Amino acid sequence: MPELAALILAAGAGRRFGAIKQLAPVRGEPLIRHAIALAEAVAPGAVQVVLGAHRAQIAAQLPQGVPAIEHPGWAEGLGSSLAAGMVGLRGQPDGVLLLLADQIALRADALQALAARWRTLPETVFCAFYGGQPGVPAIFPRRLFAELAALRGERGAKPLLLRESGPATQLAMPEAAIDIDTAEDLARWQASSAAWS
């Protein structure tokens, strides 16, 4: 069976949040642990986290056995953080699941469905589809690792997703559109999710 690793991007400063966003409490645990639990449901024992701003404080909250990849140049942007994660990725996986730490509404079953589809065609990009376009979470095969490692600045993996994925390899995941930029975003999401739980 093809091996899958997971890479969580959590290097940003989250200035609009007004505090360390990755440590914001979500159902009694830091947001970063919420993201790690989702990733572990898909790639158990193969989750790694890219840290930059506030790295010491966030690293202290990582579960034992989840390695951090430190990116001193995190301020260069998302693309540079993704590249640092790919350069620091441990092991020789056949694919990597890319997640953002603040996509708070993601569900483990949707990620497992994405991984199951990728395992049938492990040379192919499989990704979420929301807001009318492909996006992360996304699984990239090993053949694209070098391109991901060469990213620079703010430009992330979107061009690769547009080039490499199509309707047959995109999974509708409207919940992936929900991310947390401000404390108000978090409060609204917690109020709405509580109403439905």
pLDDT tens for residues 26-47? 888 999 999 999 999 999 999 9
Q: What is the mean pLDDT of the chain?
A: 93
More confident residue, 196 or 27: 27
Q: Are 166 and 88 a contacting pair, CB within 8 Å? A: no
Ramachandran area for residue 131 (φ above 0: left; ψ -120 to 50: alpha; else beta): left
Which residue do the tokens 């953080």 mark? 81
Contacts 24+ apart (CB under 8 A), 187-194: 189/104, 189/105, 190/26, 193/105
Question: What does the pLDDT look like over 70-81, one tens digit per residue?
Answer: 999 999 999 999
* pLDDT score for 76: 93
Q: Where are the domains of the chain?
A: 4-196
Report residue 142's pLDDT band, with 50, 70 and 90 as the boundaries. very high
Label residue 197 by pLDDT band (50, 70, 90): very low
pTM of the model: 0.94
Say what the pLDDT of residue 99 is. 96
Q: What is the CATH number of domain 4-196?
A: 3.90.550.10
3-class DSSP state for residue 8?
Answer: strand
Q: Would you state the structure tokens that stand for residue 13, as one six-digit string? A: 């400063």
